[in-house]
Amino acid sequence: MTAISDARFWDRTARKYAASAVADPEGYERTLARTLGFLRKNHSVLELGCGTGTTALRLAHAARSYLATDISEAMIAIASDRLREAPCPGLAFRQAVAEDFLAGDDRFDVILGFNYLHLTRDPRATLRTIRRLLKPEGIFISKTPCVGEMNLVIRRLLLPAMRAVGKAPHVSVFSVNELKQLMSDEAFTIAELENHASKGSTARPFIVAVKA
């Protein structure tokens, strides 16, 4: 699969994704609350992998500007419809990936990536790009599945089989410790690492990383 096929996968599943319930509402609310604690009224925020805009619509009021992006045109179309129904000053949706911003002058105080890094094809390169897009001492907030912590059958057999028949997108496999090391290698200092899962799982850490 390629990035184009990943985009097509999310285009196909956008309506179903939009209609699905949050798997862990308690954990999600904790993540929103902690993230709001890092946002300021003078901040410019970039969200990567925003999906259908649910999180952006909950957080954007706390920042001066909030640009929410996704690889999927269909996801962004749904998010834009939601924004028209519930306008939020400073919030905009755009079909884009992180690398699209490198050629421009825009730099951000905060970059968010929820359920995002494990879906990138090269997490190390993505972290490097994110660092370049942050202002000095800017912060990156991530909460993403660390598939390397999951059942061996799921990551070695089930996920590859599902990808082979177009039932799953590309997934990068790393553990929590490997993700921490990747961030350190790309000159991030981890300021916060918390478990927000209501059922005790530690495989989806909430991480606040500061540009060193």
177, 163, 183: which is closest to 9 by C-alpha?
A: 163
pLDDT of residue 38 exceeding 70, the answer is yes
210 CB-contact burial (10 Å; exposed 0-12 / middle 13-18 / buried 19+)? middle
Poorest-confidence range of 39-48, 71-80, 151-160, 178-187? Answer: 151-160
What pLDDT score does 55 carry?
Answer: 98
Q: Strand 134-143 vs strand 188-194: parallel, antiparallel, or unpaired? A: unpaired
What pLDDT score does 171 carry?
Answer: 86
Class for domain 3-211, per CATH? alpha beta
Kindly state the average pLDDT of the residues 95-100. 96
What pLDDT score does 100 carry?
Answer: 96
Confidence of residue 26 (pLDDT cuts 50, 70, 90): very high
- Angle (nearest 5°) at CA 143 between 107 and 169: 95
Confidence of residue 72 (pLDDT cuts 50, 70, 90): very high
| Dist CA 20 CA 51 (whole Å) | 12
Kindly state the average pLDDT of the residues 174-190. 97
Q: Where are the domains of the chain?
A: 3-211
Poorest-confidence range of 3-12, 125-134, 135-144? Answer: 3-12
Tokens 């478990």 locate to 195
Kindly state the average pLDDT of the residues 60-68. 98
Kindly state the average pLDDT of the residues 42-67. 98
What pLDDT score does 199 carry?
Answer: 79
Containing H/E element for 128? helix 123-133
What pLDDT score does 127 carry?
Answer: 98
Tokens 């990138």 locate to 120
pLDDT of residue 201 exceeding 80, the answer is no
pLDDT mean across residues, the chain: 91
- Is the pLDDT higher at 171 or at 86? 86
Strand partners, 114: 143
Kindly state the average pLDDT of the residues 157-171. 61
Poorest-confidence range of 79-83, 146-150, 159-163? Answer: 159-163
What's the helix, strand, coil split of the chain in %, to 5?
45, 20, 35
What secondary structure does DSSP assign to 31-75, as a single string?
HHHHHHTT--TT-EEEEES-TTSHHHHHHGGGSSEEEEEES-HHH
